[in-house]
Structure 1
Amino acid sequence: MGDQRSVTGRTSQVLRDYRLKPKKSLGQNFLTDSRVLDKMVRAADIDKETGVLEVGPGIGSLTERLANVAGKVVAVEIDKRLIPILENTFASYDHVQIVCGDILALDVPKVLKEHLSSCKRTTVVANLPYYITSAVIMKLLELNWSFYRLVLMMQKEVAERVLAKPGSKDYGVLSVAVQYYATPEKVARVPAHVFVPRPHVDSAVLSLTPHKTSPAFVANRELFFVVVKSSFKERRKTLANNLNAHLFTDWNKSQVNEWLNRVGIDPRRRAETLSLAEFARISNALSDSCLI
């Protein structure tokens, strides 16, 4: 296990040596708690046959731990200032590859094929910047790549939305979208004071295990997500009102009510009460009827 003082000291030392100031524009907050780093590595369930895609390695504190247990590591860092630090730190690690790039713009399958295709399985480990968390999660989950697991650090409020169940105030589009692709579990709560600089909010680490088969059959995935997004457009409105305003725009309200009743969904319900299977029922009925 890592030593708490060594992680904190190394972070401070590197920032001083390279005269680095974390960039607010990139949401940079460097984790200094060795216990959280160890929990992330354990949750990722890595062995020498595992290839790891790390997003946002920063100055390499987590990367070092991953390199010690994984068969291969490819670390994607957007900040060009940090690339020399990472390259120097891992110069003697033949199985660690540093890639400079924006994960949202990067051809991730190409990177994975180039660096990790020989590995038996692939795991993602990431400390995600708050401002792009949802976009990165969905990009990774939507890739045509069979990830074994994704262990992701994110803002606590986003984690609560990912974990939320129907009927809760946090349940929304992100909850349904992530749970369509994977089973989320909480690994750790991460207080703000273990970062440099200290963010304004606490974080959490989640483990996402992709489904081998989806918990609900969806005939048309694109249509399914259109239904979900339309249903949550205005949270305080009923399902019928949202679908009438944002999907069935050529119908009147009574037509929408009648159609939902035929599908077996009470039109007076709000989107936050519907399960993934019920959203699938609506989108599949639409797909079968060719109404949209």
Structure 2
Amino acid sequence: MSHKQPVMHKARKRFGQNFLQDQGIIRQIIRSIAPHPSDHMVEIGPGLGALTEEILAEAGALDAIELDRDLPPILRTKFFRYEDSFRIFEADAMKFDFKSLREDDRPLRIVGNLPYNISTQLIFHLLSHSGDVLDMHFMLQKEVVDRLAAKPGENNYGRLGIMAQYYCEVEPLFIVPPEAFNPVPKVDSAIVRLTPYKVLPFVAKDPLLLKQVVKTAFAHRRKTLRNNLKELISTETLESLNIDPSLRPERLSLKDFISIADFLTPEPLTP
């Protein structure tokens, strides 16, 4: 069956739409996801249904979140034979409560060709639902995938990678060239797999405070921890945690940031 973009819908820049149309890439993505009839599959931004069609063929059921109101009627018509097992939620994924999709003990398997303009914020939102998720497979701008997987000391290591790696194992899978899309974007894309840990390797006392510490530390990348964190923690305290205050934030490991956040977390009041 053809996956070419129908003339009835033009990609909208304000939604960051680039429709996938390369059949070989589609098959490669589906092999990476390996949907199964026992899975609770969720697709963010199904677009014109290039991946949707293959996921439904393999899993038999799918929940989709779509912001562009012109697309659900097209998708419902295209996949009418899955009427009882294909649900479309006309909603903004950035505000959507993914936990509300769970109707049994099956965790969600989330898939999406994420719009470049909101991908970072959307990933942060999805990380807050990691306890309800088995895994996530996303097509993203390659630069974003590089940031997700970056290690301490690398230039693209920062807030996104640290928080993603706190909750998930991050696996970059393969690059997708611009020609695979219509319209053709100006950047390379990549597929990444995020698998939430069943047991976190490192546990912060307060993950929200950890997120704030990391955000503050990277507010000015070229400045040292001493300068960026001076409103939160003293130089002497950093040294007592075996952290060099003269380092720039990209030199610290996840464990280092947890040490800082845990120190700043108030002890619970005992009755």
Looking at structure 2, the residues matched to 144 and 192 of structure 1 have their Cα atoms a distance apart, in angstroms, of 30
Q: 1:288 to 1:265 in 2, by over 3 A?
A: farther
What's 2:247 paired with? 269
Q: Which has the higher helix share?
A: 1
- 1:151-177 Cα offsets, whole Å, 9 max, x none, are 000111111100100000000000101
What's 1:247 paired with? 232
Q: Are residue 214 (structure 1) and residue 200 (structure 2) matched?
A: yes
Contact 1:51 1:71 in 2 (8 A): no
TM-score (norm 1): 0.87
Q: Are residue 143 (structure 1) and residue 165 (structure 2) matched?
A: no
Looking at structure 2, the residues matched to 277 and 107 of structure 1 have their Cα atoms a distance apart, in angstroms, of 30
Contact 1:238 1:267 in 2 (8 A): yes
Identity of aligned residues (%): 38
Q: Are residue 226 (structure 1) and residue 212 (structure 2) matched?
A: yes
- 1:91-112 Cα offsets, whole Å, 9 max, x none, are 11131112211111223222x1
The alpha-carbon deviation at position 121 of structure 1 amounts to: 3.7
1:34-113 alignment runs, 5 A limit = 34-93=23-82, 94-110=84-100, 112-113=101-102
- 1:178-213 Cα offsets, whole Å, 9 max, x none, are 101101111110111111001111111100011112
What's 1:196 paired with? 182
Contact 2:65 2:93 in 1 (8 A): yes
What's 1:257 paired with? 235
Unpaired segments ≥5 residues, structure 1: 249-255
Contact 1:51 1:119 in 2 (8 A): no
- Residue type matched to 2:247 in 1? R
Looking at structure 1, the residues matched to 130 and 145 of structure 2 have their Cα atoms a distance apart, in angstroms, of 24
Q: Secondary structure at the match of 2:42?
A: strand
Contact 2:139 2:191 in 1 (8 A): yes
What's 1:251 paired with? none
Looking at structure 1, the residues matched to 229 and 10 of structure 2 have their Cα atoms a distance apart, in angstroms, of 47
Q: Secondary structure at the match of 2:117?
A: helix
Looking at structure 2, the residues matched to 99 and 223 of structure 1 have their Cα atoms a distance apart, in angstroms, of 32
Contact 1:44 1:149 in 2 (8 A): no
Q: 1:56 to 1:129 in 2, by over 3 A?
A: same
Unpaired segments ≥5 residues, structure 2: none
Q: Are residue 128 (structure 1) and residue 114 (structure 2) matched?
A: yes
Q: Are residue 152 (structure 1) and residue 138 (structure 2) matched?
A: yes
Q: Secondary structure at the match of 1:130?
A: coil
Q: 1:146 to 1:108 in 2, by over 3 A?
A: closer
The alpha-carbon deviation at position 68 of structure 1 amounts to: 0.9
The alpha-carbon deviation at position 276 of structure 1 amounts to: 0.4
Contact 1:71 1:119 in 2 (8 A): no
Contact 1:189 1:203 in 2 (8 A): yes
Moved segments of 4+, more than 6 Å: none
Q: Secondary structure at the match of 2:51?
A: helix
Contact 1:39 1:188 in 2 (8 A): no
Contact 1:127 1:153 in 2 (8 A): yes
Q: Secondary structure at the match of 1:280?
A: helix
Q: 1:266 to 1:288 in 2, by over 3 A?
A: farther
Q: Secondary structure at the match of 1:158?
A: helix
Q: 1:225 to 1:288 in 2, by over 3 A?
A: same
